[in-house]
Every structure is written in C-alpha cells, then in structure tokens.
Structure 1
Amino acid sequence: MQKNVLKSGIEISEVGLGCMSLGTDKKQAEPIIERAIDHGITYFDTADIYDKGVNEEIVGDVLKKYQNRDDIVIGTKVGNHLQDDGSTFWDPSKAHIKDSVKESLRKLHLDHIDLYQLHGGTIDDPMDETISAFDELKQEGTIRAYGISSIRPNVINYYLEHSDIETLMSQFNLIDNRPESLLEDVAAKNVKLLARGPVFKGLLTSKSNDALDSKFADGIFDYNYQELGETIASVKEIENNLTALTFNYLASQDALGAIIVGASSVEQLDENIKNYEFSKKLNREKVKAARARVKNLEYTQHLK
C-alpha cells in the first residue's frame, strides 16, 4: 500500500484504520486489527475518550507485539476531559494535555506517541498555551508529531499559522467536499490531511439507498432529501462503485495523508480495501465527472 510522509519523516499508510468502531471486546477487535496489518495498513487512529478509554487499551494490547516494527504508527487524541461519571468537558489546557499523555502512553504500552492530535478546538481556546504543550511534548520526545482534528476554519487557520502541526483531520468525501477550500493553505504548510468519514455514514457505499433513508431523511448541508438522492443517482450513472469514486477523489488531493476507514468486522474492512484497490484503477476523468455532479460546499460557520 502507498505510504505518505509527514514532515517529521513519519510514514503512514494511505488507508488508516479508524479504531473507534472496533467495539469494547478485544476478541472481536483483534482480528480486525490483524487483518488491517495483513492488508498493509500501518496507521491506527484512536482517541483517549473512545469507549471511555477502553479503545486505547485494546489498540495498545493488540499492537504491543508489533512494537519491534518501525512502520506501525499509532495516533491518538486529547482535549476532552473524561470525568469519573463518564461525562466530558472541553479542556485544551497545558496541564490537561501533559497529564493525559501519560495515561495514553500507559494504555497504549508505549514510551512515546507517534501522532498526538487535539480532538477539537474553538477560537476561544488558549491556543498559544495548547500549542506550547504540544511543542514541549515533542521536544521532550514524548510525542513525535502533533496535529489537530477540526472542521472549524478559524481554528485550523490559527494552527496552520502559529504551530508546527503535521496533520489535519477533517470529514472529507465526495459529497462533503468543504475541505477543498483549505487544501491550498494546508499543502503550503506541508500539512497532511487525514480524511475521516470517507463513505459519509454509508451514503457512499453499495448501501447508499438505505443510508439515505435512515440517516439523511432531513437532508444535509445544502441538500434536501430529494436533491441528495438525485445527486447520488446521478453519480452512480458515471460509476456504480461510490466508495471507489470517493477514495480516488481523496487520493488525488496532493495534501492527503490517509483515508481513515472504520470497520466493525473483518468483512467490512476487506470490502473497504477491495474498493480502495479498485479505486486505483478508475479513470481520473470519471472521478472528475462525478465531482462535477455534486455541489461545491463551503464552510459557513467559524470563519473568523
């Protein structure tokens, strides 16, 4: 599988496993992670609050035996302060970040974290303090690189200008193409995009009609239900494999670091990899034609 390189030199597989969907049973999660490695996936994405910390423990336990492999890259996230009762509150303070990294290291069985990402962010955050925390962790060798997971342009732009982030994680797919407006600035800073939600809650899969009815009955963004259904039908006229189309579209972006796919079963992961491999064979003109049939979406909130 193709590898893309972060500016620190870390190589990540072009398809990464989003571990949030693994569940809380290690016996069910382990075969999915193992299959991912068999497929050439080397980037694994988790967060300290997924399943109240259980996700980090499972990922750490399963990947522990691969610690002698330099190519396995683990990314986790911080910023949501988990309380004893299971509730969370937003806490991007230096104290929380530098305290939380210790717990993530313990759960992941690591002496350093490859990629540590801020799990959100608002324009009212003490952003310089947050950036300072990440910079100090990097200088100490506790983390190798850091990034941000956000869909807020004002926050993203601040980090692009004032920090040494190496990744930006945002929802990005053929329908939700809003990140396109950020790509020039992202690429100019040599930051890599981690595209989450590539199949858009199942809308860009072979089960698109089911997803449309169950998850998009009220429409989304600039689409009402009917418009969205008509758009999907129109795109299918070009290529019936919607997943392959959106994977090719994402991989064609110069700033792409990885397409983050979730999987709750080995079969689901296999299907994603099959579609990824097929996407490499698609005619680029097909993908351009499909992109022309969807709306050009723009971020409308958190602009300043």
Structure 2
Amino acid sequence: MKINYTKSGIPLSAFGLGAMNLPTYQEQANEILKAAIDNQITYIDTADLYQKGKNEAIIGKFLKENKLRQDVIIGSKVGNAFNMNNDEVTWDPSAKHIKEGIINSLKRLNTDYIDLYMLHGGTIEDNKEEVIHTFESLKKEGLIRAYGISSIRPNVIDYYLKHSNIDTIMMQFNLIDNRPERLIDSIESKDVKILARGPLMKGLLTDKYESILDRKFQEGTLDLSYESIKHALETANKSGNLSELSYGYLMQFPVASIVNGASSKAQLLSNIRHFENVMKSETNNRTINDIRKLFSNLEYKDHLV
C-alpha cells in the first residue's frame, strides 16, 4: 500500500477506511477492521459523533485486544455536541468542548494520543482563533500529533489555510462532486493534503449505479438532474469500471488518502480490489481527463470567500 505523508510527517495509507458505517456489533466490525489491516490499510477515520461515541469505542477495543495501536493512524473529529438521550446535535467549537472531546475520545479509543484530530465542520462565525489555539495546545501536550478540518465551506477552508497549521482538509470529492477542484491551488500552496470522503458518491460511482440512481437520486443531486447524471454514468461506464475511474481521477490531486466507507467485509474487499487495479493499471491522465469531461463542472455556491 502506498503511504503519503503530511507536512507534520503523519503517514496515511493512500486508501483509508471510513469507519462511520461500521456495524455496531463488535464481532462484525472486527471482521472489517481486520480485513482493512490485512490489506495494509493503516488509516482509520472516525469521529466522536458516529454512533455517539460507540464507533470510537469499537475501534479502540479492536486495536487494544489485537495490540495494533502502533500499526495504525487514527483520525477523529470534534465539534458536535450530542445528547445521549435523544437525536439533538448542536455545534460547539469552543475550547472547553474540544478539550472535553479529546479526553472522551482518548478513553473510547483506548489510546493516549490521536494522530490526526479534525474540526468536524465549522462556520465563518466561529471563534476560529480559539479553535486554532486549542488544537495547537493539544499538539504541544502530545494528545494529538496533527490537526485538520472537515469542511466544504470555501470561506472556512480559506481562513484555516491562511491562519493555521492544519495538515489536512477532509471533503467530499469525486467525479460527480468535483467542486474541490476550484480549491486545489490554494490547498496545495500551503502543503495541505486532502482526505477525500465519498469517493464513490454513495454508490453512484460503482457497477450498481443504475439501481442506486433510481433508489436514491430520483430528484438528482447538487443541482444536477437525474437525466444528466444517468447519461454521464452510462457513457463513462463504457470506458471502464466507474469505481476505478473515480479513484484514478482523485489520484491526480494532492489527496493523501481516499477514505472509503464500508459496512461489510465484502464491500471493503471489493473497494480495495478496484483501488489496487488502478494502482497496477496503465490508465493515463488523458483517459481520466476524457472521462472527467463527461461530468458537469460544479462550483460551491454558498459560504464563499
């Protein structure tokens, strides 16, 4: 597995495991986590919000019981205050909440440090200096090795690029949702790496695209009509496997890890196989660029700089 390094020296496997959809039963989750590590996936991405902490706890138990903590890079996120008794979630990027969040996450993950700690969202109205100072303090204390943000808001991204020492930005990024392309130059100029979530666009960029499109996207998405998405997918599918085309597309950018979710071992192994096919193939940038032209050029319309 190829390893990419952030400017702080955090080694991220080029293909990462997005843990959000892990089963909540430990034994089932263990199968997926073991399969990931057996296939040299060393980056595991979670958040305190996922299943209200249970996701972190499942990962922590697996790593402790198998003595694998030193073999993986853990990414987690903070900023959402959740109520254990109902579905209420409120945004809280305060120093107090972040400091409480890291302590709770460390306990659940059975570790004394988190490799990559990210702000799980963010608005331009936040006290961003307080957020940055808090993350820097956690880094100095050795509780985290590096920090980043998970955001699709250009104004928030711009601020942290200019005023913080973030290592990474996590954002949805794929052939269909190609909005991050407009931010690449500014991200790369600060030596920041991208964590690409949603690389297969909820299954649209897989060989099951027809059923996914009919089941989940009858009204279209991102201002794209059902018909335009279907035409692009049908045409692209004639040139190769959609998953592999999307992975190949992302590899053209400063993407440190393509973070793919998996709710079953079979799904994970299928995704890994397609990723490895891309790594072994001779698909060139010209082919990828031709495929990219099939999809509409999208731009962020809200929260602009």
TM-score of the aligned structures, taking structure 2 as reference length: 0.96
Letter in 1 for 2:272: I
Q: What displacement does 1:230 show?
A: 0.7
CA distance, structure 2, for counterparts of residue 67 and residue 48 of structure 1 = 22
Q: Which residue of 2 aligns with 1:219?
A: 220
Structural mapping, 1:46-61, within 5 Å: 46-61=46-61
2: CA distance between counterparts of 1:91 and 1:13? Answer: 30
Shift of 1:257: 0.8
Q: Deviations over 1:91-136 (max 9, x none)?
A: 0000100111000000001111100000000111111111111011
Contact 1:248 1:282 (C-alpha < 8 Å) held by counterparts: no
- Same amino acid, percent of matched pairs: 49
Separation in structure 2 between the aligned mates of residue 194 and residue 244 of structure 1, nearest angstrom: 17
Q: State the shift of 1:67 in Å.
A: 5.0
Gaps of 5+ in 1: none
Alpha-carbon distance between aligned partners in 2 of 1:207 and 1:221, rounded to the nearest angstrom: 20
1:195-236 Cα shifts (integer Å, max 9, x gaps): 000000100001000111111111112411111111111111
* Preserved contact between residue 63 and residue 69 of structure 2 (Cα < 8 Å): no
| Structure 2 partner of 1:11 | 11
In the other structure, the counterpart of 1:75 is 75
Q: Displaced runs of 4+ in structure 1, greater than 3 A?
A: 65-71
The answer for the alignment partner of 1:168 in structure 2 is 169
State the secondary structure of the residue aligned to 1:295.
coil
TM-score, normalisation: structure 1:
0.97
Q: 1:67 to 1:181 in 2, by over 3 A?
A: farther
Between 261-270 and 221-230, report the one with greater CA deviation. 221-230
SS at the partner of 1:30? helix
Aligned to 2:38: 38
Number of matched pairs: 302
Alignment match, 1:198: 199
1:26 counterpart letter in structure 2? Q
- Structure-2 residue corresponding to 1:112: 113
Within 5 Å, give how 1:142-157 maps onto structure 2.
142-157=143-158
Q: Deviations over 1:40-90 (max 9, x none)?
A: 100000000101110000011111245566441001000001123232100
Contact 1:117 1:149 in 2 (8 A): yes
Q: Distance in 1 between matches of 2:161 and 2:66?
A: 33
Query: What secondary structure is seen at the aligned counterpart in 2 of 1:201?
Result: helix
Which residues of 2 match residues 211-290 of structure 1 at below 5 A? 211-239=212-240, 241-253=241-253, 255-280=254-279, 281-284=281-284, 285-290=286-291
- In the alignment, structure 2 segments of 5+ residues that lack a partner are none
Instruction: Decide whether aligned partners of structure 1 residues 236 and 68 sit closer, same or farther in structure 2, where only a CA change above 3 A counts.
Output: closer
Are the counterparts in 1 of residues 52 and 84 from structure 2 also a CA contact under 8 Å? Answer: no
Secondary structure of 2:205's counterpart equals coil
Counterpart of 1:297, as a letter, is L
Report if the CA contact (8 A) 1:66-1:72 is conserved.
no
Q: Give the CA deviation at 1:279.
A: 1.4
